[in-house]
Amino acid sequence: MELAASVPAVQNGRIYIERINAPFLFALKASGPEFGAGLRYAIDRGWLELHESGTYLRLLSAGDHRIALSATT
């Protein structure tokens, strides 16, 4: 969520998936399955919306995910 929130959105709030995929995989040294699991987790909780094409996503309820994250830690 921190990566997605830190990326400037383009048209209609779109965040291109590669803008969060690359930092997740290379800067955080995570794996592809971890990236997929993280996306599914955020989508299931209503924090992110993934477009059917899989090329971009949108943040949903911009401030709500911070509350949910702090409640789980």
CA distances from 71 to 3, 4, 18, 52, 68 (A): 19, 19, 29, 30, 5
pLDDT tens digits along 53-67? 989 999 886 555 454
Kindly state the tokens that stand for 44: 């299931």
The mean pLDDT value for 6-27 works out to 88
pLDDT at res. 62? 54
Q: Is the pLDDT of residue 73 over 50?
A: no
Nearest C-alpha neighbor of 9 from the set 48, 45, 38: 48
pLDDT by residue (tens digit) across 22-47? 888 998 899 999 999 999 999 999 99
Global pTM reads 0.71
